[in-house]
Amino acid sequence: MGATISPISQYGGSQFDISILVWKDPKEGNWWLQFGSDYVMGYWPSFLFSYLSKSASMVEWGGEVVKSESDGQQL
């Protein structure tokens, strides 16, 4: 979605976790993604998931790590 998540954990420093909730709307069948306790990020329309008409036992997704400073160090 082009946004960052903060605060972020630091290697050897403070560690943080985030709350993510994915749920299925029982009326429309859409799958919703919520970040934290009150920020709904969006949804996937039900027609994208023909095999998930009832439920899902696991959700996976990927991400990207970006270092905006150009000090020559790699992540």
Separate counts of helices (H) and strands (E) for the chain: 0, 3
Tell me, what's the pLDDT at 27?
Answer: 92
Kindly report, residue by residue over 6-59, the tens digit of the pLDDT: 788 888 999 998 888 999 999 998 999 998 888 888 999 989 987 877 778 888
pLDDT at 3 over 70: no
Distance from the first to the final alpha carbon of the chain: 22
CA 1 from chain center: how many Å? 10
Helix, strand, coil percentages in the chain from 3-state DSSP, rounded to 5? 5, 20, 75
pTM greater than the 0.75 cutoff? no
Taking alpha carbons only, the member of 8, 34, 30, 6 closest to residue 21 is: 34
